[in-house]
Homo-oligomer: A and B are copies of this chain.
Amino acid sequence: MADILGDMRRTHHCNALSAKDMGQEVVLMGWVLRRRDHGGVIFIDLRDREGITQVVFNPEINPEVHAKAHAIRSEYVLGVRGKVEPRPDGMVNPKLPTGEIEVLVDKLKILNAAKTPPFLIEDKVDVSEAIRLKNRHLDLRRPPLQRNIITRHKAGASVRNFLNANGFLDIETPVLTKSTPEGARDYLVPSRVNAGQFYALPQSPQLFKQLLMISGFDRYYQIVRCFRDEDLRADRQPEFTQIDMEMSFVGEEDLMAISEGMMANLFDEVPGRSLGLPFPRLTYAEAMDRYGLDKPDTRFGLELADVSDIVETSGFKVFSSVVKKGGIVKALNAKGCIDFSRKEIDDLTEFVAVYRAKGLAWIKVREDAWQSPIAKFFTDEEKAKLAERIDMAPGDLVFFVADQPKVTNEALGHLRNHIGKKLGLIDENAFNFVWITQFPMFEYDETEKRYQALHHPFTAPLEEDYDKLETDPLAVRSRAYDLVLNGFEVGGGSIRIHDMDLQQRVFAALGMQPQDYREKFGFLLDALESGAPPHGGIAFGFDRLVMLLCAEPSIRDVIAFPKTQRAACLLTNAPSEAAKAQLDELSLRLKLTLTDAQEKANTDE
């Protein structure tokens, strides 16, 4: 059979040749990174996935090949055969693994031509993300993206090898599944065969993995695509990948230990970093107290101090009245920041306003006295107590937020991260893991006027809190745990409810009626009655984890074909309109409003 390759087959990748191969005849295939003509000789840097090799077309070697090489432009695809030769003196490039050699070409196949790309295939590219996404096949040729996708591959393989070796079974769960309108919004898939009915794409394989434990599979995992039809925040994707795990006959510590083993193995194998085990653990209450956030960045200090008890009885009404109304007052000591300007402090006040903090009080701690608009409201005794609690020293700048606990913590927690970055306190090379445990079981949804599960309704409460399920739901702590890395939540899980009665009590606490939860989760309740073992699990956000491994700022840089914030694929133009015949087959009709039509004019392309 005729074929453009003929019998030419690659012998090496473009990173492979060095002085040891001198004189050997080799065949390389790849893309033209750049071409230089020098004294009648053509030099081409040939690029493939693995590296770059200089190939040389010299008219003295083969005038025909040299003539043909004149047509070659950037990004052309070549197959070349030639001899490995030393580079002439002064041409050696010590930065390149192949920098000592070049290939003197005696046979050339131009396998394909290429139009001039809309941007250069280089490390840095000065072009909008929209253009990069529209030309993703070219963007993916750039070395940083090549490295990211290869790192992602290695990370997946490392995780799988570790879990396989630890008795986990990779078991696939359905993508076309049942809509359970809990938590985030489902993507729906209309059924044609069952007209008028819909599948949902899974937000996680949660119930299936619990069923697998009930089936006796003991240890399950899957690196699995999940879906969430949410209004996309900065760095979310409508489809995302998680490392999903579940184990039987275990408690929190078992899950944490296996997760730590997996992470240590991953960080050892991929970035070559040794992690100290076990990871530190903080209860949710401790994390909120010390960092104001349930995903604290523990790469730096600047811990918060709760001063509510000290200020409650003070003459500063703004503080004392907040505490009396159930709020809290907390302080962040920006050590040594006494020289922040008025403008800088105003900017930080605006920063915390985003988190709904109504103000940001401050004290500059001078050798002799406090410089502060609020200093006058405190007695010397109160000042002494505050100074001790907050660990004030001359040169410090202390910030206060007084508000309901949620606002105070969120505002100061983010302010802490902001100041940590501003002051350069963060070691960008560090990987600081921390477990957060004993989350609240429920939170109260003011809009819907009911309790919602903070994790999900299948999470077990702490046994000692069972009796508060009906009397004081907000005080019930759960057996949920999150794994936080450098301030990002990279995983979360829980010990599950394996007892049908307890599951029903939790559904009831969430305000569900028996007929509701029977209809939605009857199969789970049946399964819990059929011999369900104690079990628990965890899921890690694979995109985010790889993003942190690659030190990239966005998950879009570690996903081969990501979507925009409007959930569009600019490369293939998805989503797109459906043919009327397709909708007819699905028994569907569009019902577009004027607003929709306006929205449509407003896409992000």
Partner of A176, one of B227, B531, B560: B227
Those of A28-45 within 8 Å (CB) of chain B: 29-31
Q: Does A115 contact B (CB under 8 A)?
A: yes
Query: Which chain B residue has the least Cβ–Cβ distance from A177?
Result: B574
Whether A229 and B588, one on each chain, are in contact in the complex, defined by CB atoms closer than 8 angstroms, is no
Whether B575 and A529, one on each chain, are in contact in the complex, defined by CB atoms closer than 8 angstroms, is no
Known contacts A76-B531, A188-B586, A196-B596; 7 further A-B pairs (Cβ under 8 A): A112-B498, A114-B529, A114-B531, A157-B170, A175-B175, A194-B599, A195-B592
In the complex the two chains form, what is the Cα distance from A241 to B171 in whole Å?
12
Q: Does A269 contact B (CB under 8 A)?
A: no
Shortest Cβ-Cβ A-B pairs, 4 listed = A114-B531, A195-B596, A140-B215, A178-B574
Interface of A: prevailing SS:
loop
Tell me, rounded to whole Å, the shortest Cβ–Cβ distance linking A266 to chain B. 15
Whether B463 and A174, one on each chain, are in contact in the complex, defined by CB atoms closer than 8 angstroms, is no
In the complex, what residues of B have CB within 8 A of residue A586's CB? 188
Q: Does A600 contact B (CB under 8 A)?
A: yes
Partner of A559, one of B111, B172, B215, B523: B172
Q: Does A455 contact B (CB under 8 A)?
A: no
Q: Does A358 contact B (CB under 8 A)?
A: no
Q: Does A189 contact B (CB under 8 A)?
A: yes
Tell me, rounded to whole Å, the shortest Cβ–Cβ distance linking A35 to chain B. 14
Whether B194 and A568, one on each chain, are in contact in the complex, defined by CB atoms closer than 8 angstroms, is yes
In the complex, what residues of B have CB within 8 A of residue A48's CB? 216, 218
Q: Does A1 contact B (CB under 8 A)?
A: yes
Q: Does A593 contact B (CB under 8 A)?
A: yes
Whether B115 and A198, one on each chain, are in contact in the complex, defined by CB atoms closer than 8 angstroms, is no
In the complex, what residues of B have CB within 8 A of residue A198's CB? 575-578, 582
In the complex the two chains form, what is the Cα distance from A202 to B251 in whole Å?
39
Query: Which chain B residue has the least Cβ–Cβ distance from A221?
Result: B153
Q: Does A47 contact B (CB under 8 A)?
A: yes
Query: Which chain B residue has the least Cβ–Cβ distance from A218?
Result: B49
Partner of A181, one of B117, B149, B561, B582: B582
Query: Which chain B residue has the least Cβ–Cβ distance from A197?
Result: B575
Q: Does A193 contact B (CB under 8 A)?
A: yes
Q: Mask for A394-420, Cβ within 8 A of B = 1, else 0?
A: 000000000000000000000000000
Q: Does A517 contact B (CB under 8 A)?
A: no
Q: Does A191 contact B (CB under 8 A)?
A: yes
Interface-lining segment among A3-11, A311-319, A341-349: A3-11
Interface-lining segment among A56-64, A100-108, A206-214, A421-429: A206-214
Whether A499 and B596, one on each chain, are in contact in the complex, defined by CB atoms closer than 8 angstroms, is no
In the complex, what residues of B have CB within 8 A of residue A559's CB? 172
Q: Mask for A581-594, Cβ within 8 A of B = 1, else 0?
A: 01011111111110
Partner of A575, one of B170, B194, B527: B194
Q: Does A234 contact B (CB under 8 A)?
A: no
In the complex, what residues of B have CB within 8 A of residue A208's CB? 560-561
Q: Does A239 contact B (CB under 8 A)?
A: yes
Q: Does A225 contact B (CB under 8 A)?
A: yes
In the complex, what residues of B have CB within 8 A of residue A1's CB? 251-252, 462-464, 479
Tell me, rounded to whole Å, the shortest Cβ–Cβ distance linking A217 to chain B. 6
In the complex the two chains form, what is the Cα distance from A239 to B191 in whole Å?
13
Q: Does A199 contact B (CB under 8 A)?
A: yes
Whether A214 and B137, one on each chain, are in contact in the complex, defined by CB atoms closer than 8 angstroms, is yes
Query: Which chain B residue has the least Cβ–Cβ distance from A498?
Result: B112
